[in-house]
Amino acid sequence: MVSAVSQKKIPTWREVIGESVLIEYKLKFALNFSYDIFDVINEGQQFEYLGFALSPTIRMAIMRKDQLFRDVECVSKMVDRYNDIVLNLSTPEVNVF
């Protein structure tokens, strides 16, 4: 674990990048998530249907597939809304933001 003394030497995001670099360069946040995980979960469901014994982790993922999908969709919508709001800010609003 990193000690508190050494953590004080690590610069923060704002110290390195600045206050509004995303806005100045019209950059956006993006969701870093691969929907391929749902293919893997579906394959696990097929294995379970065929009678194979699955690990508890895979079974839990299968049971929570719908919740995971809803959560990912909600986060994706939130990031899109944030990007839309930030990119539509005027210059005075950017300085306040």
HEC assignment per residue over 20-82: CHHHHCCCCCCCCCCCHHHHHHHHHHHHHHCCCCCCHHHHHHHHCHHHHHHHHHHHHHHHHHH
How far, in Å, CA of 13 to CA of 36, rounded? 31
- The helix/strand/coil state of 3 is coil
Identify the H or E element spanning 10: none
The residue extents of the domains of the chain are: 13-88
Whether the pTM exceeds 0.75: the reply is no
Q: What is the pLDDT of residues 44-61, one digit of tens each?
A: 999 999 999 999 999 999
Count CB neighbours of 23 within 10 A.
16
pLDDT at residue 57, rounded to an integer: 92
